[in-house]
Structure 1
Amino acid sequence: MSGKGSNSAKLRQYNERFVLQALRQLREGSKSDLARMAHLTPAAVAGIVDGLEKAGFVKQVGKRLGLRGSPSVLYRPNANRLYSIGLKIGRRALQAVLLDFAGEVCASIERDYDFPDPAVVRRAGNAAIAEFSAQVARTEGATLAGLGIAAPYYLGGWSEELELPQGLGALWQEIDLKIFFKTDPGLLVCVENDATAAAHAELALGQGSRFRDFMHISIDSFIGGGLVLGGKVHAGPHGNSAALGPLPVSPSTLSGAAARPARYSSLLHRASAYVLLNHLRACGLSITRVRDLEPLPKEARQPVQDWLDDCAAALAEAIIAITSILDPEAIIIDSILPRALHSDLVAQVQRRFSQAAPIGIVAPQILSGTLGPQASAMGAASLPISALLAPDSSILMLGDEAGGLAGRLS
């Protein structure tokens, strides 16, 4: 949330979005709660909430008792009013989620592959879109807001590290993801970098909503990041802000780490999931997917711990650099690791940072992300909803012909 609403009649559509966004952030609230959060008069908010309830975007869920005066009616977003599809095109799998208006995943599909062959990705994505669209069509009063797609900008890059086919990157560079999948005409399609999409998800649906300025670190096949400033994700002029992979850190101490003739390594070569899998393979273990580490095989315990130590040390170095430049309130770390291993990693990063942080920086909170392996897909799914409903001053130029939220989605 940023800025303030306005009580001017000309801005009703903007205020309508502002109040709805406030309710989605609160998850549940009264008209008085929303008036305080949106900096609008109670009378203005009452009219907006009544209109949103009539259009099916919000619903009453009871009353708040125990306070002075009459009990307050509580409202929540109507989860079944609006849905969105999110696809994450990964280097080893395609993930698809159907997100409801309350921000909950109500269906998910995952399709593994050895490498992201465009034909395989298209078939898997089209199947998921068709299945989810049919599910929304069967839900009375529901509308599909759109399709969000999250993918690495260099999907075929670093082929040597992942043993991908040569020329794969060139194939993906020729593909326009906005028209890559089969969708109904007119359906809103949004495309975003996978790590940036994960930051969107944490900001909108996770504990990132507690902060106005934070760095989101996403450990996938390769590490990535997302920068949130002033309550908004900042992608940068080239869409590549917070690309943490190239950040220089000290060389790895892992016995199986590839020798690199340089004084420094890159964060990508120490804090990425592919490094963990390569380390396990160097230790004689045939584990090819991170999810196969849950439950953790006995023979993998020491190699995994070695990687956690090395990864945490690299992340602590990177966080010192990030904090020195940006002064964020928080660093939120999420990953595709099983949750127990992820928690261990975050705890080690916290400890190493507290031991190594130099004088002269204000230590941010270092926290665990809440969305895990589905973060990028959920972030992708949140993009069309945000594009349609988030407060945006450009709506003020539309006049009244858009007809409010109900009119735009009818």
Structure 2
Amino acid sequence: MRSTRFEAFPVSTPTVVQIFTIVLSHGPVTRAEIARRAVLSPAAVTKAVRPLIEAGYLVEEAGEESRSALGRPATPLRVDGGRALFVGVKVTGDAVIAVLADLCCRVRVARHVALGDRSPEGVLVTVNELVAELLAEAEGFGVAVRGVGVALSGDVARADGTVRYSPFLEWRDVPLGELLATSTGLPVTVDNDVRALTVAEQWFGAGVGLSDFALVTVGAGIGCGIVVGGRVVSGAHGVAGEIGHLPLDPAGPECHCGNRGCVEAIAADSAIVRDVRARTGVPVADAAEALALAHAGDPGAREVYARAGEAIGRAIGSVVNLLGPERVIISGEGLAAYDLFAEQIRDAFTASAFGTAARCDVRTHPLPFEQWARGAAATAIQSFIGSDAREEQR
């Protein structure tokens, strides 16, 4: 596979990364506003942005002058999204979605292919083919691809790109980052899919400007990305946020993790399909058929969704009680059933949230699978500018 000439980000000191991230998330923004947000002196901001402007990563907005507190013209800065491109890849149990995104994480090209072979070898072939396609597309933009981000469910060690355990792919200890870096010739970042999506929401989506929020995903699994103090939390062992494995009922259904009564064993798509079959006697084939049956008014199917909503609501209550986020964003393909369990989520959350924690802003934010691949691209951008190294040092 063809490689691209390596180009490092001009400066990756903590101050420069902090300033660049502010402009990336909030731009166009003046130097004075950057100084306020970063708690830096104007001189420090001016020094930090100079090499980024010279290298073309930051540009001044012509004709957009405002006035500073001293009455001097203040020209806003913005990131030149077209300065670099990145590939983001989301791997599921039956498909691979890939996007070509610019430096502002705007999707320029998207690809979606079925995954016939879940083995590491099979996934590598599919991902390499998609990366090659998107590298060819990048040539049309006249801009080099600077990194590849890959996101998939499970226990992923971002530091070295090893997939320690992925239940949907049935993988253990696969050095995916190393294998893809060798085959693509590009820097590769591999992360848990929910954490990757959280990075995208923090920098470019519903979490912009929030120092503390959580992203709860519902669908094939139940996941949670956590941001505390402006930092995406992975935990000492890399598995922070696994609310899908909070045990709610010791006598409940067995979970694939080996425990009983986990949120995921009650509210994930496969659990809902299993329980709808049991309650109704209808041999629904998948989540779409279970949902259609519930929407048709079948009381047994609707009870299953109500129970799932209660489990999700209790899990969100636990997150809010422990971390006190300003906002909880609910997303994922499972939102297609939101009308069936929204009331139960709200009631269970309110009942389990302690005191003023119940004031947390809980909202939904539907995101198609393409956005999960965009999240993977966001992690590649994060690695390129050195923000991931800064996070690990904190």
Query: TM bucket by the smaller chain?
Result: 0.7 to 0.9
The match for 1:271 is 267
* CA shift in 2, pair 1:371/1:278, >3 Å: same
* Deviation per residue, 1:24-46 (Å, 9 max, x gap): 11032123222322233334434
The match for 2:8 is none
Name the % identity. 24
Deviates more, 1:222-231 or 1:62-71: 62-71
Distance in 1 between the 2:109 and 2:251 partners?
40
* CA shift in 2, pair 1:185/1:194, >3 Å: closer
| SS at 1:181 equivalent | helix
Does the aligned pair in 2 maintain the 1:269–1:275 contact within 8 Å?
yes
* Deviation per residue, 1:301-355 (Å, 9 max, x gap): 43575444222211121122223333332222211136x6447755652344235
Per the TM alignment, residue 22 of structure 1 is displaced from its structure 2 partner at its CA by 0.9
* CA shift in 2, pair 1:391/1:118, >3 Å: closer
Letter in 2 for 1:149: V
Q: How many residues align?
A: 367
Distance in 1 between the 2:67 and 2:84 partners?
33
* CA shift in 2, pair 1:362/1:46, >3 Å: same
| SS at 1:135 equivalent | helix
* CA shift in 2, pair 1:278/1:24, >3 Å: same
Distance in 1 between the 2:264 and 2:227 partners?
21
Distance in 2 between the 1:252 and 1:312 partners?
18
The match for 2:136 is 134
The match for 1:389 is 385
The match for 2:361 is 365
The match for 2:97 is 95
Does the aligned pair in 2 maintain the 1:252–1:270 contact within 8 Å?
no
Letter in 2 for 1:97: V
The match for 1:149 is 150
* Deviation per residue, 1:340-379 (Å, 9 max, x gap): 6447755652344235545475542212235443443222
The match for 1:195 is 194
Does the aligned pair in 2 maintain the 1:215–1:225 contact within 8 Å?
yes
Deviates more, 1:92-101 or 1:149-158: 149-158
Distance in 2 between the 1:86 and 1:79 partners?
15
Per the TM alignment, residue 220 of structure 1 is displaced from its structure 2 partner at its CA by 3.2
Letter in 2 for 1:302: G
Q: How does 1:104-253 map to 2 (within 5 A)?
A: 104-113=106-115, 116-140=118-142, 142-153=143-154, 169=170, 172-181=171-180, 186-250=185-249
Alignment counterpart, residue 327 of structure 2, candidates 325, 330, 354: 330
Does the aligned pair in 2 maintain the 1:80–1:100 contact within 8 Å?
yes
Gaps of 5+ in 2: 1-10, 156-162
Alignment counterpart, residue 297 of structure 2, candidates 276, 297, 302: 302
Alignment counterpart, residue 316 of structure 2, candidates 290, 304, 319: 319
Does the aligned pair in 2 maintain the 1:337–1:373 contact within 8 Å?
no
* Deviation per residue, 1:94-122 (Å, 9 max, x gap): 22222211121222222234672434322
* CA shift in 2, pair 1:109/1:280, >3 Å: farther
Q: What TM-score does the superposition give when structure 2 sets the normalisation length?
A: 0.77
* CA shift in 2, pair 1:371/1:82, >3 Å: farther
* CA shift in 2, pair 1:44/1:325, >3 Å: closer
* Deviation per residue, 1:204-229 (Å, 9 max, x gap): 22222332222321223111222221
* CA shift in 2, pair 1:350/1:63, >3 Å: farther
Does the aligned pair in 1 maintain the 2:212–2:227 contact within 8 Å?
yes
Distance in 2 between the 1:158 and 1:197 partners?
15
The match for 2:53 is 53
* CA shift in 2, pair 1:356/1:383, >3 Å: closer
Per the TM alignment, residue 156 of structure 1 is displaced from its structure 2 partner at its CA by 11
Letter in 2 for 1:205: F
Deviates more, 1:22-31 or 1:62-71: 62-71
| SS at 1:310 equivalent | helix
